[in-house]
Amino acid sequence: MNETQYQMDLLKAMNQNLSTRDRMYRMICEMTGGAFLYLDAYKNDLVTIGDFVSFFDFEIKVKRDLERIYEIVDEPYVMPLRELISLDKSGKEKAMLECLTRKKKTWLQFQALANYDEQGKLVGKVIGILDITKYKLQAEELNYYSFYDVITGLYNRNYFVRLLGEFVQKAKNAQKRVSVMMIDIDDFHKVNDGLGMVYGDELIQQFGSFLKDFCSENVIACHLNSDVYCIAIYDPKGNYSVQEIHNAITERLKRPFVLGSQQSASITVTIGVAEYPDAAKTALDLINCAEIVALKGRSYGRDAFLYFDQPILKEFMRSLDLESKLKDAIHRNQFELYYQPQYYCGNKKLRGMEALIRFRESDNKMISPSIFIPIAEKNGDIIPIGNWVMEEAIRQYAEWQVMYGSRFILSINISASQFLQEDFVDRLFMALKQHKVNPYFIELEMTESILIEDFDNVCEKMKSLQEMGIRISLDDFGTGFSSLSYLKKLPINTLKIDKSFIDTVLTDSTTRIITESIIGMVKSLGFESVAEGVEEEQQYKYLHAIGCDVIQGYLLGKPLSVTDVEKLLRSQTR
């Protein structure tokens, strides 16, 4: 092989190698979506790799074409970009800059890397360009979610707490006040149940949008969770005071919210207010205090507006403490049952006994059921408590039957949530079977509230129990929605007239008319009437005269412990 041929083959091989490298570089550029240019300082030459057309509306062929890049970025980025491209003038090795373009409003990332020889002279530099618009938008979206609620556009809880903390610190330094309003939509679940969650979310969004109009330098608002919002006001006064914002909310809620498909929803809200420094000294404590007041407001019903004070806090802490003790008592079976006798009006013979739960604290102090039962109903503990009462009362009754041959009626109070449990009937009959108690001697007492849930299904369940021999008693008649029309549809045996009627039956003519009408109606329907809370001889005589069947109250018998009941039963067997 001659020298000429050898040189030609060598040149061809080198060209192939360069072609391979060039393809590799271009494939890398396509994979990363970037474009690169290399400036050779020795040759004063420029090489480009990548699809520059997708970034610019012009080509970069020579060094002076770089000037055109500065024309496409927003003004604030021009000088920083010049410094990046000319980074060798400062002696830096690398730099990076994100720029927003003027027309396309896309984000471009520029990176520069310079290479120097041993004497510190520039050998060459690479400038890389990448479209980062998608990542920038994703970052902005994530940043948005870090501060704002996705449904309402209000601040989210975490950012609100942070800003509220700044309000509190600022108020501390300036000796100002900060007001926090906890706003809770009343019975929001009815909107979700009635219209659906989509409309529920739309209502949340619309109300949140309304609250957003209050926001300013000194007023911030957040969507705390579900149907609860929170507003904080720094140095409340004038139009930006608790009272003015409350008035504006009240005025807005006079009109319904129009939802999709022309659905409409009218709402009321309960508002609890706590203020720095009176209620609390930190952001989280202020929110907690406002929430406590809102919870208290909900116990009053709809559309409540309350300020925080120490008695409310004490009551709340007492409620929490009692709730904890209740749960402990459930696990340790620390409840006890008392039994209040019921007597026939005509001959004053024992008709039956009502089982009444009692809860005694460790210091032997008795807690009234009127205090702990509402707490148990709210947190769901009423179900295990009610089951214990039912099973323990039946067990005790079976023991008395064996000991004294007693055949009186045992009345057991049943809550709505307990009665509606799927296993309620099975549980009841399992207890009766286990202790060999005839269902005929068991009477279940239920209040009118049980009928609100599902009247037809409740009636069917009552009827099936009645067919098995269980007696059904409607308790506290006259204190609920008390519609006389539904009584004829109810499968009940007994109707108990509430104590509130008996208290004034001798002094109030209207009460007498109502009481006499109830007893007359009960007789016509074939039910048995029981008057609760009979404490005076004159009350008894009056009830006897108008035909009441049974009386229950302190006049003839207070609630008795198991020991005292056994004394009573022994006295009747002599």
314 in a domain, yes or no?
Answer: no
265, two tokens: 């929803």
Mark whether 127 and 152 lie in a shared domain. Answer: no
Whether the bond between 439 and the residue before it is cis, its omega within 30 degrees of 0, is no
Rounded to an integer, the average pLDDT of 246-272 is 89
Q: What is the CATH number of the domain that holds 165?
A: 3.30.70.270
Mark whether 286 and 332 lie in a shared domain. Answer: no
pLDDT at 102 over 60: yes
545 in a domain, yes or no?
Answer: no
Mark whether 280 and 402 lie in a shared domain. Answer: no
Q: Tell me: the pLDDT tens digits for 147-162?
A: 888 888 898 888 899 9
Q: Tell me: the pLDDT tens digits for 174-229?
A: 999 999 999 999 988 888 777 788 888 899 999 999 999 999 999 999 998 889 99
Q: Tell me: the pLDDT tens digits for 473-509?
A: 998 776 655 556 677 778 899 999 888 889 998 999 9
Rounded to an integer, the average pLDDT of 319-346 is 83
Mark whether 131 and 158 lie in a shared domain. Answer: no
Mark whether 343 and 459 lie in a shared domain. Answer: yes
Last residue of a domain, one of 308, 340, 363: 308
496 in a domain, yes or no?
Answer: no
Q: What angle do CA 401, 405, 409 make, to 5 degrees?
A: 60
Q: Tell me: the pLDDT tens digits for 533-545?
A: 999 999 999 999 9
Give the residue from 514, 385, 492, 410 showing the smallest Cα distance to 447: 492
pLDDT: which is higher, 243 or 483? 243
Query: Which pLDDT belongs to residue 3?
Result: 57
pLDDT: which is higher, 533 or 367? 533
Q: Tell me: the pLDDT tens digits for 393-439?
A: 999 999 999 998 888 999 999 998 899 898 999 999 999 999 999 99
Strand 409-413 versus strand 350-360 pairing type: parallel
Query: Which pLDDT belongs to residue 236?
Result: 92
**Which band of pLDDT confidence, cut at 50, 70 and 90, is reported for residue 167?**
very high
pTM of this prediction? 0.61
C-beta separation of 538 from 545 below 8 A: no
Most confident option among 85-94, 175-184, 192-201, 452-461: 175-184
Query: Which pLDDT belongs to residue 480?
Result: 53
pLDDT at 13 over 70: no
240 in a domain, yes or no?
Answer: yes
**Which band of pLDDT confidence, cut at 50, 70 and 90, is reported for residue 145?**
low
pLDDT at 530 over 90: yes
Cβ atoms within 10 A of the Cβ of 549, count? 21
Mark whether 302 and 398 lie in a shared domain. Answer: no
Mark whether 162 and 302 lie in a shared domain. Answer: yes
Report the distance separating Cα 402 and Cα 416, nearest Å. 32
Mark whether 198 and 123 lie in a shared domain. Answer: no
- Expressed as residue numbers, the domain containing 480 is 319-491+557-573
Q: Domains in the chain: how many in total?
A: 3
Last residue of a domain, one of 281, 308, 335: 308
Give bridge partners of residue 359 from the DSSP assignment: 335, 367
Q: Tell me: the pLDDT tens digits for 300-321?
A: 778 889 888 877 777 777 777 7
Mark whether 360 and 445 lie in a shared domain. Answer: yes
**Which band of pLDDT confidence, cut at 50, 70 and 90, is reported for residue 466?**
very high
pLDDT at 1 over 60: no
Report the distance separating Cα 201 and Cα 257, nearest Å. 12
Q: Tell me: the pLDDT tens digits for 499-528?
A: 888 999 899 998 899 889 889 888 888 899
Query: Which pLDDT belongs to residue 361?
Result: 74
Mark whether 369 and 443 lie in a shared domain. Answer: yes
Mark whether 390 and 348 lie in a shared domain. Answer: yes
149, two tokens: 């609620």
369 in a domain, yes or no?
Answer: yes
In terms of DSSP H, where are the helices of 308-381? 310-332, 369-379
Rounded to an integer, the average pLDDT of 538-557 is 94
**Which band of pLDDT confidence, cut at 50, 70 and 90, is reported for residue 122?**
confident
C-beta separation of 325 from 372 below 8 A: no
524 in a domain, yes or no?
Answer: no
Query: Which pLDDT belongs to residue 18?
Result: 46
3-state secondary structure of 348: coil
pLDDT: which is higher, 158 or 362? 158
Give the residue from 358, 460, 471 showing the smallest Cα distance to 411: 471
Report the distance separating Cα 28 and Cα 23, nearest Å. 9
Rounded to an integer, the average pLDDT of 8-36 is 58
Report the distance separating Cα 399 and Cα 339, nearest Å. 14
Percent of the chain with pLDDT over 70: 90
Report the distance separating Cα 294 and Cα 280, nearest Å. 16
Rounded to an integer, the average pLDDT of 362-380 is 80
Mark whether 286 and 382 lie in a shared domain. Answer: no
DSSP one-letter code for 256: P
231 in a domain, yes or no?
Answer: yes
Q: What is the CATH number of the domain that holds 70?
A: 3.30.450.20
Query: Which pLDDT belongs to residue 528?
Result: 94
Percent of the chain with pLDDT over 90: 40
Query: Which pLDDT belongs to residue 129?
Result: 85
Report the distance separating Cα 95 and Cα 294, nearest Å. 55
**Which band of pLDDT confidence, cut at 50, 70 and 90, is reported for residue 11?**
low
543 in a domain, yes or no?
Answer: no
Last residue of a domain, one of 137, 161, 182: 137
C-beta separation of 511 from 531 below 8 A: no
486, two tokens: 């539904």
Query: Which pLDDT belongs to residue 6?
Result: 53
